[in-house]
Chains A and B, each alone.
Chain A
C-alpha cells in the first residue's frame, strides 16, 4: 500500500482513478488503455512539477517517509558477505546503529549506519534510529578496527537524533558522540558518508565527519529538528514549517554552504517510489568516491579531512 504525503494528494487521486480504470478493463472488456496512458502521463507531469520545487518542509516529510529506503535496504542490495558485529565491549549492544564487515563491489569494507526500522516491531527494536552511547561506542570500535585493518569506511546517516533519555545521559551520551566524531576524524582510510534520510544533529555528525559527505536529493541535515527549533525560538512547535525554512537543512542549501560534497539525485517521486533505483544510485556514487579516495595515502586522507572541517564556518550564504 503506497503511503501518500499531504502534498501528493492530487497524485493519489489520479492513481486511484487509474486503478479503477484497470479494474473496469479487466471486468467488462471495455478498452480504457488510452485513458490510462493519458492519466499516467499526467501523474508523471505532476510528480515532476511537485518534486522539482519541494519546500523545505515537504522535504522534511519526504526524508521521514515511512517507505523511504532505510540502511537495511542499502545493506541488502549493496553489501555482500555482510557480517554485522555487535556490542561496544563496555555495556551493551545498541540496535539503533548497525555496523559490521562486508564487501562492497569487490572491496572489503566496514559499514556503519543508523537503522530506523520498517514496521512497528522493528521500529521499536531499533529505537527509531535514535542511538544510545553504546551505539556510538560500537561505531568508535568499528572505526578503530577499520583503521587497524586498513579497510575503507562507509556510513549511512538516518536518525532523528541521539536518544534523549535518562539512561543515555547517565552513560555519557555527549562523551560517546564526541569520541565518535574524534575516531572518525582520526581514520587513515577512505571514509565516505551518505545522508539517506534524516541527518539529525549530533547523533548524525557522530558518524559523518567524513572525507566525502554525500546527500540524497530530498534528504535533510539539521542542527536541530524543525519542531525543536520552533518550540525554542517561536515558543510554538506548530511553527516547524517556518523553522524548516530558516534552518537551511536541504541538500541544496548545504551544498551551497560547502558543508556537503555532492548530491545524489532521487528518482521521480522520491526515493520511496523507486527503492532499487535509488539504492543503485547511492552505490554508484559511493563506488566513485572510494575509487578516488583509494589513491590517497592514509596520512594525506586524514590531513585533508581535518583541513576540510577546520575550514567550515569561514563562508556563509553571502
Chain B
C-alpha cells in the first residue's frame, strides 16, 4: 500500500490543489527583480523578458519543450527503500520526503521519459528542483540507472537535464555512493556507442556535478546557470575568498573550458536534435536521395 500513500495520494492532491492558485499571477525574476505576468513568463518559456534569466522549468514542461511535438511517454521508476538510514534533524526525513511528494505530486526528484527528438528516439531524465532541491539520493540514482538502461535497450541517445543542489545528505553515504552508481550507469550508455548528453540548468552543484553531470559526451548549459562543485557561500565563508564576477555561471564555465555550448532555452530543442542527428549518423528523414545509377562501363586496366 506504500505506493498509494507515496505516489497516488500526492498526485491526487496535486491535481486538486492546482485549482486554487490564481494568487500567483505575477512572478518576480530572481535575477533582476522584475515582476512578470505569469502568462507572459510561460509564453517566454520562463525566461525573463527583461534580463533574459532562465528561471526554473518544471520537468514536465521541459519534456514538452524538448521532445518532438511535445509528445513523450514517462516511465515509472522502481521503488527504493524510503528513508534508508532513518534520518532525523529537526524533523524526520520521512516527513520531509512526504511533504515534497505532496507538494510536487512526484515520488522523487527525477522524471524519466522517452520520445523523439529530431525524429530519433531519445530517453530524457529531468531533475525537479522543487523536490528537496533536486538532491540525489537512492531514488534519483535509481532513476538515472533505469533511464540509462532504457536508452541502451532502445539503442537511443540519453539526455539528462540537471538541476540539483547535490547529494541528499539525509541518506548519508548511500547518497554519496550514487555518484559511483550513476557513473557506471552512463558508462553503459557510452559503451553501447550511444550519445550521452548533459543539459545543465540552474543550479547544478555538489555530488551531481561531480559525477554523471560532468561526464557527458557533450555538456550543454542554459545561460546564466550556476554550475559548480562547492557552493558560493561555502567558498566565501570557509575560505574567505571574494568571488569573481560571473563566478560559477555557465558563461564562466564556457570560458574556462568546462562546457561545449551555452544555449538559449528556445534553441535547446533544435540544438539537441541537430547534435543527436549528427552523432547518430543519420540524415534528416526525407532528405535521403538515392544515388543515381548511370550506365558507365568502368575503365579497363591496361
Contacts and interface: CB of A to CB of B under 8 A. Distances in A.
Contacts of A202: 167, 176, 179, 206-207, 210, 229
A317 interface: yes
Contact of B239 (A164, A247, A316): A164
Contact of B183 (A174, A185, A204, A314): A185
Measured as residues with beta carbon below 8 angstroms from the partner, the interface class of chain B is 35 or more
B57 to A, nearest CB: 22
A172 B83 contact: no
Given A233-B89, A310-B185, A313-B178, A173 B207 contact: no
Interface stretch (B122-130, B230-238, B275-283): B230-238
B173 A222 contact: yes
B174 A259 contact: yes
Contacts of A234: 89-90
A172 B253 CA distance: 8
Given A221-B173, A317-B85, A178 B212 contact: yes
B80 A174 contact: no
Interface in A304-318: 306, 309-310, 312-318
Interface in A284-318: 306, 309-310, 312-318
Interface in B136-181: 137-138, 141-142, 145, 167, 169-181
Contacts of A181: 179-180, 183, 210-211
Contacts of A315: 81, 84
B221 to A, nearest CB: 13
Interface string A151-182: 00000000000101110111111110111011
Interface in A221-251: 221-224, 228-229, 232-234, 242-243, 246-249
Interface in B194-238: 205-207, 209-215, 227-231, 234-235, 238
Contact of A178 (B90, B171, B172, B183): B183
B51 interface: no
B258 interface: yes
A254 B243 CA distance: 37
A177 B182 CA distance: 13
A8 to B, nearest CB: 27
Given A248-B85, A310-B145, A165 B173 contact: no
Contact of A254 (B83, B173, B248): B173
Measured as residues with beta carbon below 8 angstroms from the partner, the interface class of chain A is 35 or more
Given A178-B213, A201-B176, A309 B229 contact: no
A172 B169 contact: no
B60 interface: no
Name, among B81, B175, B179, B231, the residue most crowded by chain A CB atoms within 10 Å (CB to CB).
B179
A169 B176 contact: no
A119 B193 CA distance: 50
Contacts of B68: none
B87 to A, nearest CB: 5
A205 B214 contact: no
Contact of B176 (A205, A246, A306): A205
Given A174-B210, A185-B184, A202-B206, A168 B175 contact: no
Given A170-B256, A172-B258, A223 B81 contact: no
Contacts of B231: 164
A169 B173 contact: no
B187 A249 contact: no
A234 B87 CA distance: 13
A211 B234 CA distance: 33
Interface string A245-283: 011110001100101000000000000000000000000
Nearest to A315: B81
Given A166-B239, A257-B85, A314-B80, 13 more contacts: A164-B230, A166-B247, A172-B257, A173-B210, A174-B227, A175-B214, A185-B183, A185-B184, A201-B207, A233-B89, A309-B180, A312-B138, A313-B178
15 contacts: A169-B247, A173-B210, A173-B230, A178-B179, A233-B170, A234-B89, A234-B90, A243-B89, A309-B177, A309-B181, A310-B181, A312-B141, A313-B142, A317-B84, A318-B81
Interface of B: 80-81, 83-90, 137-138, 141-142, 145, 167, 169-181, 183-185, 187, 205-207, 209-215, 227-231, 234-235, 238-239, 241, 243-244, 247-248, 252, 256-258
